[in-house]
Chain A
C-alpha cells in the first residue's frame, strides 16, 4: 500500500510540473525522461522480472509506432483509436517472437541475439515496403486537439506520457504482489524448479513478452504523436533497444522504481554533458557507456540496490 501511495504522490508531483514552470526546455526534458522510463518499464517486465534479456525491443516500439502512423496517415484513423490497435499488434509480435524462441528453449545471449535479429529484419522490411513509406518514412498530419492525441503545448503531452508511465508503475507493482508475478520471478531465477512447482514456464514467458511488447508499442504510439514523423531507423534502429535497457539496468532490475530512476539519472546526465561539452555532439553517449560499465562493475543491482543495502 505504501508503494501505491508513492505512485500517487509521484503522479501528482509530475502532473503539477506545468503549473510550476512553462519552460518548454524543462517540460521537454521531463517528457523525454518519462518516455525513456516507459520503454524501460516495458523492458523491465520481460528482463527484470522474467530474466529474458531482449536486445531488440525496438521491434515492439517500431511496430507500435508504425501501426499508429499507418492507421492515421493512410486510413485516417483517430490516434486514440489507433492506440489499442497498436498495443494489440505489439503484443502479437511479442507472442510471435516469444513462441518461436521459447518453444526452442532459447535463453541468455541466444535470446538476446534473436530479438536483435528480429528488430533488424523489421527495419529492413519497413525500408522496403510501400505502405510504411519505405525509406522516406511517414508523416502524421499536425492537427492539435486533445481528441486527436496532439497538443499545442507540452503540458498535454506530459500528462499523456505520465499516464502511460503510471500504468507501467501499476503493472510493475502488480508483478510484485500477484501470483503471476511470483511465477514470472520464479522462472527468472530457476526454470526447472519453477516447472517442478507447477509453473507453466512457456506460458509465463510468453505472457511476459506479450505484455512487454504491448507497453513498448504504447511508447511507439506516443513517439509518433509527439514528433509527427517516423522512419525505419528511428522505429527499428538499435538506439531504442539500448534506451529501453539502460534505464532499468542503471536504476535497478526487477524493481518498481528502477526504470524511472535510471531514466532520470541518464537524462540529467545527458543534459549535463551536453551543456558542458557542447562542441562534441554525442558526448552524452560516451557518458552513458562509461556509466553502464561502472554500474555493472560496482552496482549490479542498480541504484535501488544501493539504497536497499544502505538501510539496516
Chain B
C-alpha cells in the first residue's frame, strides 16, 4: 500500500515535467520553434550524456561546488556565531543589526566587480560573494531560533541544576538547531544561484563559465544540457539536506511534514 502511494506521488510529480519536455520536443521537431532558437530536447539529452561521460561536466562541476559549498560553509560558521551573538548580547545586537539590515536588500552579485578588483578572477572572489549571500538567512534564522527558546525550558534546566554558564550548551544550542538547519536549507540554493551568476561574468572555469561559453559560441544544446544537469545536482543537494535534517532532527515536530 505504502509503496503504491509513493509511486503514485512520484508519478504525479513527474507528469508535469514529462509534459513540458514532450511539448518542448514536439514544438522543435515540428518546426513551430526553430532549433536555431531552441534546440530539441533529444539533442540536449545527447549533449548531456556526452558532457557527463567526457568528464567536461565533472571538471567544471568540481570547481563550482567547491566555491558554492566553501562559501556556504563560511556563511554557516559566521552566521551561527553572529546570530548567537546578536540574540544573546544587547550591544552586539545594537552594533550588527543596522549592518545586517543594510546588507539585506543588497543584491550580493552587484559586488562582483568590486571583488574582482580586490581579489581578481579567483575562487576567493567567488567564495566571498557566495559567503555574503548565504550569511543573512543563517544569521536571521539563528537569531530567531535563539530568541524563541521557550523560557520554561530555560527555567526547567536551571531548577534541574544547570548553571547560567552551561545553559547555552545544554539548552539554547539544541533548541535552536532546527532554525539553524532551516537557515542552511535556505542558503544552499542561494549559494548555487550565486555561484553561477558569479561564474557567468568573472571566471575562467565552472558551470557558469561553461554555460556562458556554449552560449556565446551558439552551441545551445550543450548550453541547455549544462543548465539541466546543474539543476539536477542542485535538486539532489536540497533533497539530501532535507533528508539529513529529518534524520538528525527527528525529535522536531516540523521535520515530520514536508
The finding on whether chains A and B are genuine partners in a shared complex, rather than unrelated, reads: no
